[in-house]
Amino acid sequence: MLRAGFDSLLSLVTFLVFTGFAVAALVFAAMAREDAYRAADKQTKKFWLIVLGVNLVLNLLLPMLFLQIAGLIAAIVFMVDVRPALAQVSGGGRGGRRGGGSSSDGPYGPYNGGR
């Protein structure tokens, strides 16, 4: 009985995390401009919207673990590879620094070498 409760809790958490990540990836894919996909030399916006949309629909209608994992992999690829490339070509890439500061800037402003 305890194991059944744990399994149902674990499946609920898995469902929520996978679905939330799918929604986030789909929203980011929809917000990017079409020309940014071409400039970043990635698949088209339509392709990513279809892949991530199917992922979300399958998560909601047919929550099988192997389908969820396949969808999670697609969402991870988008978030880790495609989204940063889109941000870079769209002018949103910061290159690791906020505000476009110089390479000697620290987290609290410019580093002056202890002077």
pLDDT at residue number 26: 95
What is the spatial distance between Cα 63 and Cα 35, in angstroms, rounded to a whole number?
A: 34
Is 53 contained in some domain? yes
Specify the number of domains making up the chain: 1
What is the rounded average pLDDT of the residues 26-49?
A: 92
What is the spatial distance between Cα 77 and Cα 6, in angstroms, rounded to a whole number?
A: 30
Tell me which DSSP letter residue 44 carries. -
What is the spatial distance between Cα 4 and Cα 8, in angstroms, rounded to a whole number?
A: 6
First-to-last CA distance in the chain?
67
pLDDT at residue number 82: 93
Question: Which tens digits make up the pLDDT trace of 53-108?
Answer: 999 998 889 878 888 889 999 999 999 999 999 999 887 655 544 455 556 666 66
* Domain around 41: 2-91
Is 111 contained in some domain? no
Is 107 contained in some domain? no
Is 96 contained in some domain? no
Is 100 contained in some domain? no
pLDDT at residue number 80: 94
pLDDT at residue number 63: 74
Question: Which tens digits make up the pLDDT trace of 1-11?
Answer: 677 777 788 88
- Residues with Cβ within 8 Å of 11's Cβ and at least 6 positions away in sequence, in order, are 63
Contact 74, 33 (CB under 8 A): no
Q: Is the pLDDT of residue 25 over 90?
A: yes
